[in-house]
Chains A and B, each alone.
Chain A
Amino acid sequence: MKNTNENIKVLIADDEVEFSSTLQTRLNLRNFQATMVNSGEATLKAVEEEKPDVLLLDLKMPDLDGLEVLARLKDDHKDMKVIILTGHGSFEVGREGMELGAFDYIMKPVDLKVLIAKIEEAYSSI
C-alpha cells in the first residue's frame, strides 16, 4: 500500500454505517486519514472541526439533503473538494451537484481503485 496518501484527510458522510465504516477502514488501511459521519448536521460540524481535504458526500441523509449540505459548505470551504458518492443519483441531480461546485459525481457501488484515483485527482487539484 502506498504512503503518498498520508496527508489526505477524507471525510465520509453517509447514513449507511455499514458502508461508511467499511470504506473508512479500507481507506485507512491505505494510509488515508479517513473519518466518518452519519448525518447532514454532523457533516457540517465535522467539516468545521476537521477541515478535510476531500468530502465523500451521500445525497440522501435523514436530516439534511446532500445538495443542501453542499450549498452551505460551498462558499466557506473553497479548498475542500466534494465528491458526490450516492446510490440515488440521476442525470438532473448530478448536474445540480456539479453546478453547486462538486468536483465529481460517482454512483455507488464503486470500485475502490476508481474511488481512490478520483480522491487523488481531487486532492492534487487543490
Chain B
Amino acid sequence: MKIADVILPKSLKSSIDLGLDRRSYGQFRLILFLIMIAITAIPATTIALLGYSNYKNLLQKDEQSQLKWQMDGSVGSIEQMVESLKSVVQFAARRDRYEELNTGNNLKVLFERLQGQYPSFADLGVVDQKGIQRAYYGPYNLEGTDYSGEDWFKEVLDRGLHISPVYRGYRFVPHFAIAVSNYDPTTQRAWVLRATIEAETLQQYVSTIKTEATDDLFLIDEEGVLQTNSDYFGRTLNRTELETEPGVRADVLMAGENPLVAVGNIKSTPWSLVIIKKGYINKNEWRSFRSELFFLFFTCMVISVVVIYTLVKLLTTLIRKADEIQIKMMQEAEHKDKLASIGRLASGVAHEINNPLAIINQKTGLIDDLIDMSADFEQKQMIVNSLKSIDNSVERCKAITHRLLGFARRTDVLFEHVSINETIKEVLLFLENAMMYNRIKLELKLQDDLPQIYSDRLQLQQIFLNILNNGIDAIGKDGTIVIISNLIAGDIRVVIQDDGGGIPEDLLPQIFEPFFTTKETGKGTGLGLSITYGLVKKLGGDITVRSNVGKGTAFSITLPVNEMES
C-alpha cells in the first residue's frame, strides 16, 4: 500500500481507486475549502502581524527619540536657570567680603539687594571655618548655630559649592539651600555663604518648560523624593519609586497605562528631571493604522472566503459530473459486454438446437409421407393432426433459433453502396398497409444530400423493419411515427420515434437483451431488438434509445459512411 493511499482521504482519490465506494462530495468540498483557506490565511495573517509589530516598534522608537531630544532641551534650560542662581550667590560671596558681611548690617543690605532681584530668597548666613554661623539675616535668629557636624558643610569646604535637595524648613515651607565657600586672605581662613531659597523657584522653572506634548514633568532628588509638584505622584516632598538613572524607558506606573518615562540628571545638583509621556497607544496615528490594517485584513479574508467557496463549489460540481460520466460509461461498457456474451451464448444454443429440430422435422415429414401412401385406418386423421401440431411447434422453435442467429436465410451477402433514404423508403413499402390500417401517420424528415454508405442493404432493411414494427406495436392505433435522417460528425444518423406508451426507465437497459419482451407470451420472441442491436454492431454502427413513459420512444441509429471499405 502506498503512503498516498493511507494519507489521502477517500474523497480525494481517483474514481478507479475508489472502486465501488461512492465519493463523499461534502467531505471533498470541506477538505478543499479548508486547505485553500489555510493557504490564503496563513501568509495574510503573518504579514498583518509583522506589519503590526514593525509599525508599533517604529512608532515607539520615534517617540522615544523625540522624548530624548525634548529631555535634553529641558535639562539644558533647568541647568541654565540653576547656573544663574548659583552665580548670584557666588558673586555675593567674593573672597574678601567675609569681614565686611560680618559687620554691621551689611548682610541685611546684601539680602535686600538680592531679594530685589530674586524674591524667593528666604535668608542668608555667613559661616566661619569652624562651622559656626557668624552672621545671619532672615526670619529666624539663627546666629551662632553650629553646622560643623553637617554633611553639606563638609562638602562645601571640599568642593566650594553645595546645592541641597528640597527640605521642609522651620516654617514648613519647602526650601533648598545654595552654599559657596571661599578663602579669606585677611584671616587666612575659609568661610561659607549660605542662601536658603524657596522651592517655589524650582516649580516656576519647571512650569516654564512644561509643554502640551508632555503629560507630566517634575524634579526628583537622588532618593526619588519629589522636588516639584507632579500630576502623577502628588506634591513636593512626596516619595516616588523612580530611578534616577538617566535614559528613556517604558514603565508601568499605573494600571492600564504604559507611559514612557525619561530621566535626565541636572549637572552639579542633586536633582533629576523626569518627563512622563503616555505612549503611542493613545496616538491617533497608531489608532488609524490599526483600524486600517484590521479593515484590510478582514476585507481580504472575506473576499478570499467568497472566491474560494465559489471555486470549490464549481470544482466539486465538475468532479461530480466527471465521475457520473465515468460511471455511466463503465456501466455502458459493462452492458455492451453483457449483451455480447449473451449473444454468443444464444447463438451457440441456437446452433445446437437446429440439428435435432431438423431431425424432428424430417421424421414427421417421413411419417406424413408414409401415411399418405397407406390406406385409411381408424386413427389416421388424429395422427395427421398430431404431426401438424409437431410441425407447428418445430416452426416456432425454428423462428426462434433463426432469429437468434441474426437472420433467417441469406442468398446474397453483399456490401454495396447504399442510400439510406432509399432503404428506409423500401422498408416503408412493406409497412404502408399496416400503418394505414392502424391510422398511424408518418412524418419523414430525410436529409436529401446524404452520402451513400458502404453497407449491407438487406440487413439495413431488417434493422429499420424491426424498429418500425416495434414503433407500430407501441402505438397500437392512432399515432405518429417520425423518421429523421441526417449527417452528424461524418456519420449518418437515423432517428425513428413513435408517440406510443414509452418504456419505463428501469426497463430501458434491458430492451436489447435477448428474450426480453413486454408483449404478452406468444406474441413476441423478445429477439427483435436484440437482433437489431447485433446487426447494427455488425455493420459498425451504434444504436441508442431514449424514452418517456406516456410520450414515446426514440431509437437513434448511427452508421459509419466508410466502414468496411478497404
Q: Which residues of B contact A110 (CB under 8 A)?
A: 358, 361
A97 to chain B, nearest CB (A): 9
Judge if B374 is at the interface, Cβ distance under 8 Å.
Answer: no
Q: Which residues of B contact A108 (CB under 8 A)?
A: 354-355, 357-358, 361
Assess whether A25 is in contact with B366, with CB atoms less than 8 Å apart. Answer: yes
A67-101: CB near B (< 8 Å → 1, else 0) gives 00000000000000000001111110011001000
A72 to B347, CA, bound (A): 28
Judge if B412 is at the interface, Cβ distance under 8 Å.
Answer: yes
Assess whether A105 is in contact with B409, with CB atoms less than 8 Å apart. Answer: yes
Judge if A22 is at the interface, Cβ distance under 8 Å.
Answer: yes
**Most-contacted residue by chain B among A18, A91, A106 (CB, 10 A):** A91
Q: Which residues of A contact B363 (CB under 8 A)?
A: 18, 22
Q: Which residues of B contact A88 (CB under 8 A)?
A: 351, 354
Judge if A65 is at the interface, Cβ distance under 8 Å.
Answer: no
**Most-contacted residue by chain A among B358, B402, B405 (CB, 10 A):** B358
Q: Which residues of A contact B355 (CB under 8 A)?
A: 16, 19, 87, 108
B220 to chain A, nearest CB (A): 118
Assess whether B359 is in contact with A18, with CB atoms less than 8 Å apart. Answer: yes
**Contacts A90-B347, A91-B413 given: A26-B354 contact, CB under 8 Å?**
no
Assess whether A19 is in contact with B358, with CB atoms less than 8 Å apart. Answer: yes
**Contacts A29-B369, A88-B354, A108-B354 given: A23-B362 contact, CB under 8 Å?**
yes
**Contacts A89-B405, A108-B357, A109-B354 given: A19-B411 contact, CB under 8 Å?**
no
Assess whether A109 is in contact with B358, with CB atoms less than 8 Å apart. Answer: yes
- Majority-rule SS of B interface residues: helix
Q: Which residues of A contact B398 (CB under 8 A)?
A: 109
A44 to chain B, nearest CB (A): 22
| A26 in complex: contacting residue of B359, B362, B411, CB < 8 Å | B362
Q: Which residues of A contact B412 (CB under 8 A)?
A: 98
Judge if A107 is at the interface, Cβ distance under 8 Å.
Answer: yes
A108 to B361, CA, bound (A): 9
Judge if B281 is at the interface, Cβ distance under 8 Å.
Answer: no
Which chain A residue lies CB-closest to B538? Answer: A91
Assess whether A105 is in contact with B410, with CB atoms less than 8 Å apart. Answer: yes
Judge if B394 is at the interface, Cβ distance under 8 Å.
Answer: yes
A106 to B410, CA, bound (A): 8
Judge if A42 is at the interface, Cβ distance under 8 Å.
Answer: no
**Contacts A91-B407, A105-B409 given: A112-B365 contact, CB under 8 Å?**
yes
> What is the size category of the interface that chain A forms with chain B?
20 to 34
B504 to chain A, nearest CB (A): 33
B339-351: CB near A (< 8 Å → 1, else 0) gives 0000000010001
A87 to B350, CA, bound (A): 8
A44 to B408, CA, bound (A): 29
**Contacts A22-B359, A108-B357 given: A87-B413 contact, CB under 8 Å?**
no
| A107 in complex: contacting residue of B359, B365, B408, B413, CB < 8 Å | B408
Assess whether A19 is in contact with B402, with CB atoms less than 8 Å apart. Answer: no
Assess whether A87 is in contact with B411, with CB atoms less than 8 Å apart. Answer: no
Assess whether B354 is in contact with A90, with CB atoms less than 8 Å apart. Answer: no
List B264-284 residues whose CB lies under 8 Å from chain A.
none
Q: Which residues of A contact B405 (CB under 8 A)?
A: 89-90, 107
Judge if B500 is at the interface, Cβ distance under 8 Å.
Answer: no
Assess whether B354 is in contact with A87, with CB atoms less than 8 Å apart. Answer: yes
A77 to chain B, nearest CB (A): 21
Q: Which residues of B contact A18 (CB under 8 A)?
A: 359, 362-363
A107 to B402, CA, bound (A): 8
Q: Which residues of B contact A86 (CB under 8 A)?
A: 354
List A1-49 residues whose CB lies under 8 Å from chain B.
16, 18-19, 22-23, 25-26, 29
Assess whether A104 is in contact with B411, with CB atoms less than 8 Å apart. Answer: yes
**Contacts A19-B355, A22-B359, A22-B362 given: A94-B394 contact, CB under 8 Å?**
no
Q: Which residues of A contact B538 (CB under 8 A)?
A: 91
A64 to chain B, nearest CB (A): 18
Assess whether A94 is in contact with B413, with CB atoms less than 8 Å apart. Answer: yes
Judge if B109 is at the interface, Cβ distance under 8 Å.
Answer: no
Judge if B508 is at the interface, Cβ distance under 8 Å.
Answer: no
A60 to B490, CA, bound (A): 42
A18 to B361, CA, bound (A): 11
| A94 in complex: contacting residue of B357, B361, B410, CB < 8 Å | B410
Judge if B360 is at the interface, Cβ distance under 8 Å.
Answer: yes
Judge if B406 is at the interface, Cβ distance under 8 Å.
Answer: yes
A49 to B418, CA, bound (A): 45
A12 to B361, CA, bound (A): 16
A18 to chain B, nearest CB (A): 5
A112 to B368, CA, bound (A): 12
Q: Which residues of A contact B406 (CB under 8 A)?
A: 90-91
A110 to B391, CA, bound (A): 11
Q: Which residues of B contact A104 (CB under 8 A)?
A: 411
| B411 in complex: contacting residue of A23, A29, A105, A109, CB < 8 Å | A105
| B413 in complex: contacting residue of A19, A22, A98, A111, CB < 8 Å | A98
**Contacts A106-B409, A107-B408 given: A16-B358 contact, CB under 8 Å?**
yes
B349-390: CB near A (< 8 Å → 1, else 0) gives 001111101111111011001000000000000000000000
**Most-contacted residue by chain A among B363, B406, B409 (CB, 10 A):** B409
Q: Which residues of A contact B410 (CB under 8 A)?
A: 91, 94-95, 105
Q: Which residues of B contact A107 (CB under 8 A)?
A: 354, 402, 405, 408-409
Which chain B residue lies CB-closest to A17? Answer: B359
| 8 A-B pairs with the lowest CB-CB distances in the bound complex, closest first | A87-B354, A108-B358, A95-B413, A109-B361, A22-B362, A109-B358, A87-B355, A109-B357
Please list 14 pairs of residues, one from A and one from B, whose beta carbons are closer than 8 Å in the complex, sorted by A's number.
A16-B358, A19-B355, A19-B362, A22-B365, A26-B365, A26-B366, A87-B352, A90-B405, A90-B406, A98-B412, A105-B410, A108-B355, A109-B354, A109-B394
Known: A19-B355, A98-B412, A109-B354. 16 other contacts (CB 8 A): A16-B355, A18-B363, A19-B359, A22-B359, A22-B362, A29-B369, A87-B351, A87-B353, A87-B357, A91-B406, A91-B410, A105-B411, A108-B354, A108-B358, A110-B361, A111-B361
Q: Which residues of A does B touch, CB under 8 Å?
A: 16, 18-19, 22-23, 25-26, 29, 86-91, 94-95, 98, 104-112
